[in-house]
A = this chain, B = another copy of it.
Amino acid sequence: MPPMSVDQFTLVVNMFSFTIAAMGAASVFFFLQRGDMVPRYRAVVAIAGLVTPIATYNYIRLFDSWNESFTLINGAVHTTGHAYNDTYRYADWLLTVPLLVIVLVMVLDLPARQARLRSLVVGLQAAEMILLGYPGQISTNVETRWLWWGAAMVPFLIIVQQLYGALGEAVAKQPQGVRGTIVAARFMTVLVWCFYPAVYILPLVGVAGPTAFIASQVGYALADLLAKAAYGCMIYTICARKSQLERDGQPVAPPAPLRAVRA
């Protein structure tokens, strides 16, 4: 790789540091506020509060790996020979992506059996999506990368189909005052998640060099902040409003029985 500029090196250091602080702060907020929810939403806020500490940990690892691989000394960026391990991200995603999609199912207040089934389906598809991406990510062969990219897109599309198809009716029937936030959280999930497969194929379509590399590092951090911290705040808002509805004796679940589920 051609050498990066001092500004590029520093931008990544500062972006990673920002991400560590933001994810850590979000974690503290979720921990502190969890107990103010009515009992049924405490586990949801706890799970939103697991995602951000995992991300905090992951960005500490990335920050350390970055500084082990590149060093800014005497006004220039040098490589040390140590590999920068960008694939730490997969360990994070394998844990957090299933949790992120499961909390969206949890806030819908489906009947217990249906909630378990839908959580299982989207959670397993999310884990499968990450696992299928990994072999392509570590490969330098163009065809291998395309193959695994394509394989990982299948569970991604199944998740989108679940969120808009099977769960669409439940979303549409959510009580006023939370429906808009749920629709927005679902839309943001799908939109931000599209960023990851797009960055994955950059080297396959000839976009390379330090600028593309730096853009992908900063872009991943931004996407993670939206998909985890900002999304977690939306999930928290839904839980806080539904807690208020329950305290006021208002219905929090979709009014009509949903389509029967065969397990």
Contact = CB atoms under 8 A, between A and B. Distances in A.
Interface string A1-41: 00000110010011101101110110011011111100100
Interface stretch (A45-53, A103-111, A154-162, A182-190): A45-53
A21 B97 CA distance: 13
Contacts of A18: 90-91, 94-95
Interface string A185-222: 00000000000000000000000000000000000000
A21 B58 contact: yes
Contacts of A95: 18, 21-22, 25
Interface stretch (A71-79, A166-174, A248-256): A71-79
How many copies of the polypeptide does the oligomer hold?
2
A42 interface: yes
A91 to B, nearest CB: 4
A1 to B, nearest CB: 12
Nearest to A82: B73
A106 to B, nearest CB: 14
A28 B45 CA distance: 12
Nearest to A68: B67
A250 B234 CA distance: 33
A83 interface: yes
A126 to B, nearest CB: 15
A54 interface: yes
Contacts of A83: 6, 10, 72-73, 75
Contact of A28 (B24, B53, B87, B94): B53
A61 interface: yes
A54 B33 contact: no
Nearest to A240: B43
